[in-house]
């Protein structure tokens, strides 16, 4: 059902006469899941809003290049992930921190973002996730919060299922250790 809907939207997006209506429909369907996916990577609402807009603008510009080798869902998530990583790298460059200090930026975002509500344990979990390397962080978020299948994750992140499982396993271990050691 979902696949048929996606195919219909793609077909309508590629036609001049139905493009705008189809685009509105696409945004309505995917704005929330993509937003939360990006928000988990960036933590800041402002950055996430920018990235979400960039993602849909990119979709608008390049829908005619979409060869439908992957599903629309995978393609959108891939664009959103890449845009989020680009935003993170731009923030790193602006702050002139070494590449492995991005956790400081994210921690700052976590502590200063006004759109943050949650209990102590939820915030502590987020702190633990911030300590993870970039790839592990994305994999952990997709698997733990979104319960995404490894096959879908592999298509989005262009990584093998085995590597993703290993990545998730390591991420879980590190998060556990952080939660136990910081009370």
Q: Which spans of this chain sit near another protein (rule: CB under 8 A)?
A: 16, 20, 24, 27-28, 31-32, 35-36, 39-40, 43, 45, 49, 52-53, 56-57, 60-61, 113, 115-119, 121-126, 128, 143-145, 147, 168-169, 172, 175-176, 179-180
Query: 10 or 172, CB closer to another protein?
Result: 172
Contact present, 168 and 140 (Cβ < 8 Å): yes
For residue 90, the minimal CB distance to another protein (Å) is 18
For residue 4, the minimal CB distance to another protein (Å) is 23
For residue 111, the minimal CB distance to another protein (Å) is 12
CA 20 → CA 12, 63, 67, 170, distances in Å? 9, 12, 20, 44
For residue 96, the minimal CB distance to another protein (Å) is 27
How many CB atoms neighbour CB 76 within 10 A?
A: 23
With tokens 């080798």, the residue in question is: 69
Query: 70 or 170, CB closer to another protein?
Result: 170
| Contacts (Cβ under 8 Å, ≥6 apart) of 73 | 2, 6, 30, 152
């Amino acid at each position: 059902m979902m696949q048929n809907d996606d195919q219909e939207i793609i077909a309508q997006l590629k036609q001049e006469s139905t493009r705008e209506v189809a685009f509105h429909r696409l945004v309505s369907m995917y704005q929330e899941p993509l937003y939360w996916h990006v928000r988990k990577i960036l933590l800041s609402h402002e950055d996430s809003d920018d990235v979400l807009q960039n993602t849909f603008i990119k979709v608008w510009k390049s829908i005619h290049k979409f060869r439908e080798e992957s599903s629309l869902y995978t393609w959108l998530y891939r664009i959103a992930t890449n845009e989020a990583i680009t935003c993170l790298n731009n923030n790193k460059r602006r702050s002139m921190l070494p590449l492995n200090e991005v956790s400081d930026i994210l921690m700052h975002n976590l502590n200063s973002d006004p759109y943050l509500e949650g209990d102590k344990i939820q915030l502590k979990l987020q702190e633990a996730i911030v300590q993870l390397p970039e790839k592990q962080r994305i994999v952990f978020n997709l698997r733990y919060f979104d319960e995404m299948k490894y096959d879908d994750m592999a298509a989005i992140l262009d990584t093998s299922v085995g590597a993703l499982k290993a990545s998730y396993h390591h991420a879980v271990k590190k998060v556990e250790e952080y939660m136990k050691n910081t009370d």
